[in-house]
Amino acid sequence: MKRPLLDSKMCGGKLLGSKLRVAGLACAAALAAIWAAPASPAAAQSATLSPVNESGQVVLTIKDHVFSPSEIHVPAGKKTQLLVKNLDPTAEEFDSTALKVEKVIAGRSETVVRLRTLDPGSYPFIGEYNSDTAKGVVVAE
C-alpha cells in the first residue's frame, strides 16, 4: 500500500475516503508552507546570492569586453572577494567609484578583487577600457 505524502495523524484528522476533512486540508496547507519555507532568513537570502567557488569567491568573467554575470548579489555587512577572470587577449580595468576599487586585469589572466563590507544597495562597476560594453552592478542584500 502506498503511504500518503501527508499522514492524517500529523493534523489529528481522519481520512474520509480519499479526502481529508476541511480542517485536515487547512493543516496540510500549513505543513506544506512550513516544509517549503527556508530553515532560516539566511537560507532565504542565500537563494538570491551569487554562487561562489570552493574558495568562497564570486567568479566574474570578462569575455568579448562584457562582464558575466553583469549582476552580482553579495551579503550586506560582510567582506566579499571577486575572482575576476579576463578571457580576452587585452587588459581590462575593473573600476568602481561606488565600491572604491580600481584594478587592472591583464589579458588572459585572473585576479582577486576584495570588496569592503557593504551596506544594502547597488554598486555599479565598469571595465574602464571598454566602458560601453563592460558594465555591471554589485547588489548587497
In the chain the domains, ranked by start, together with CATH numbers, are: 1-37 (no CATH), 44-140 (2.60.40.420)
- Would you say 114 and 81 are in contact if contact means Cβ atoms under 8 Å apart? yes
Does the pLDDT at position 43 exceed 80? Answer: no
Q: Return the percentage of the chain with pLDDT > 90, whole number.
A: 66
Q: Which amino acid is at 36?
A: A
20 vs 125: CA distance, rounded Å: 55
User: Of 123 and 12, which is predicted with more confidence?
Assistant: 123
Does the pLDDT at position 28 exceed 80? Answer: no
Does the pLDDT at position 32 exceed 50? Answer: no
- How many CB atoms are closer than 10 A to CB 121? 12
The model's pLDDT over 104-123, given as tens digits with 9 standing for 90+, comes to 999 999 999 999 999 999 99
Does the pLDDT at position 33 exceed 60? Answer: no
Contacts for 40 with CB less than 8 Å, ≥ 6 apart: none
User: Of 32 and 106, which is predicted with more confidence?
Assistant: 106
Does the pLDDT at position 141 exceed 50? Answer: yes
When pLDDT is averaged across residues 133-137 and rounded to a whole number, the result is 98
72 vs 6: CA distance, rounded Å: 39
Does the pLDDT at position 93 exceed 90? Answer: yes
When pLDDT is averaged across residues 98-108 and rounded to a whole number, the result is 98
